[in-house]
A and B are shown apart, each in its own frame.
Chain A
């Protein structure tokens, strides 16, 4: 027996709008699912980070304790302090003996010194000197006007010169103070003045 279906055939087709809405719904559904997955990953990552941090903390504690308890650590610290202080002392170490040959070069041959006092704080040298005559005293001072001689000694100041009689004749005694170049007393491996 033949059957006749009187319903319209297009009733089974979904309208275009319905498909569109369905697609939109699926997209939103997937988006929400992605958000849940992302949250899950965050939870997992946080847990993993916490584990790694605990391990790191443990490792740091172990290493720190090992270093602190190293039996030779104190010796090393003492040696480091010793080296630091030594470097500082060596940097400020002065060589006074280097002054005398240079002073001899700038001194008139007829002049002689009786007393020398060096003051490193002010970089000055004070001398009690004597020369045979006043002309020699003038020459003694003129030497320091020459550039090759005032390189290391400058600002020469004479005070209290007196002419005295001795058994061999007369002489002029005076006190002189001058500034010396601080480089003069620094370490010079090959001092050749």
Chain B
């Protein structure tokens, strides 16, 4: 019987030491990993996180803005549709506050009201338009009626009429309830000996002209 004390090449003390990691090796590797991880986190992840956070905030703001624009666009479409469905009201609005007007047209309107109430006109004066105002043949306005900038324009009417109390009252009520907005700014009523009253009246009449 022979006994062989073989030496397993893989189990010699030198190889064994090289294969079995010492605890110190693990600690060094762990510390290295912590350092690498921390540095990466601090110099790469944190700035990227901040940048992404900023971009997300911008995206939310943009998204909210887009929703508003979209809602405004929908509202615009709805309002334009309303313009078509409310033609009658627009006609009334044009009568109350026209988008264009001239002194002769206003003169005609007031003449009509005065005559229908039965009083006689002593004087009628309308002011408020300038000599330089273009009142007809404005090509730019004719080609794009709603394109110009508009503002409220006031015509001042000074009028003196004679008539009975009932006629004067009828005139006042017609002026107040006219489809065209006419504001009485001052009013004076004087009686003469024959029972005829004289009404001095100042009116403001408006248009939304360009």
Residues of A within 8 A of B (CB): 1-7, 11, 14, 17-18, 21-22, 24-25, 28-29, 31-32, 35-36, 38-39, 42-43, 45-46, 49-50, 52-53, 56-57, 59-60, 63-64, 66-67, 70, 72-79, 81-83, 85-86, 89-90, 92-97, 100, 112-120
Chain B, range 56-98, C-beta contacts under 8 Å to A: 56, 58-59, 62-63, 65-66, 69-70, 72-73, 76, 79-80, 83, 90, 93-94, 96-97
Q: Which residues of B contact A113 (CB under 8 A)?
A: 189, 191
Q: A115 contacts B183, CB within 8 Å?
A: no
Which of A18, A63, A116 contacts B187 (CB under 8 A)? A116
Q: Is B121 an interface residue (CB 8 A)?
A: no
Given A32-B36, A42-B52, A56-B59, 9 more A-B residue pairs with CB atoms under 8 Å apart are A4-B5, A35-B45, A53-B58, A86-B96, A89-B97, A96-B184, A96-B187, A100-B169, A118-B187
Q: Are B73 and A114 in contact (CB under 8 A)?
A: no
Cα A116 to Cα B169 with chains together (Å): 14
Please tell me if B173 contacts chain A, counting CB pairs below 8 Å: yes
Q: For residue A22, which residues in chain B have a CB less than 8 angstroms away from its CB?
A: 26
Chain B residues lying within 8 Å of A116, measured Cβ to Cβ, are 187-190
Asked if B37 and A74 make an inter-chain contact with CB atoms under 8 angstroms apart, the answer reads: no
CB distance from A72 to the nearest CB of B (A): 5
| Chain B residues with CB under 8 A of A67 | 69, 72-73, 76
Tell whether, in the assembled complex, residue A85 and residue B5 are in contact, meaning their CB atoms are under 8 Å apart.
no
Asked if B104 is at the interface of the complex by the 8 Å CB criterion, the answer is no
User: B108: CB under 8 A from chain A?
Assistant: no
Q: How long is the Cα–Cα vector from A92 to B185 in the complex, in angstroms? A: 11
What distance in Å separates the Cβ of A16 from its nearest Cβ neighbour in chain B? 11
Nearest to A30 among chain B residues (CB) is B33
B23 vs chain A, min Cβ distance (A): 5
Interface residues of B (CB under 8 A from A): 1-6, 8, 11, 16, 20-21, 23, 26-27, 29-30, 33-34, 36-37, 40-41, 44-45, 48-49, 51-52, 55-56, 58-59, 62-63, 65-66, 69-70, 72-73, 76, 79-80, 83, 90, 93-94, 96-97, 99, 144-147, 150, 152, 169, 172-173, 176, 181, 183-191, 206, 208
- Write 25 A-B pairs (CB below 8 A) sorted by A numbering: A3-B4, A4-B3, A21-B30, A29-B33, A35-B40, A39-B44, A39-B45, A42-B49, A42-B52, A46-B48, A50-B55, A53-B59, A60-B62, A60-B65, A63-B66, A63-B70, A67-B69, A67-B72, A67-B73, A76-B76, A85-B208, A89-B181, A96-B187, A115-B189, A116-B188
Pairwise interchain contact A90-B181, C-beta atoms closer than 8 A? yes
A5 to B4, CA, bound (A): 9
Chain A residues with CB under 8 Å of B5's CB are 4, 6
Q: Which of A3, A6, A49, A115 sits near B55, CB closer than 8 Å?
A: A49
Q: Nearest Cβ distance between residue A41 and chain B, in whole angstroms?
A: 9
Task: Report B159 CB to chain A, min CB distance, Å.
Answer: 14
Task: Give the docked Cα–Cα distance between A76 and B78 (Å).
Answer: 11
Query: CA–CA, A52 to B58, complex, Å?
Result: 11
Contact residues in A for B79 (Cβ distance below 8 Å): 76
The answer to whether B90 touches A25, judged by C-beta atoms less than 8 angstroms apart, is no
Contact A32 B33 (CB under 8 A): yes
Contact indicator A52/B59 (Cβ below 8 Å) = yes
- B40–A32 CB distance below 8 A: yes
- Judge whether B146 and A74 touch: CB under 8 Å: yes
A105 to B16, CA, bound (A): 126
CB distance from B175 to the nearest CB of A (A): 9
B66 near A56: Cβ-Cβ < 8 Å: yes
Q: Which residues of A contact B41 (CB under 8 A)?
A: 35
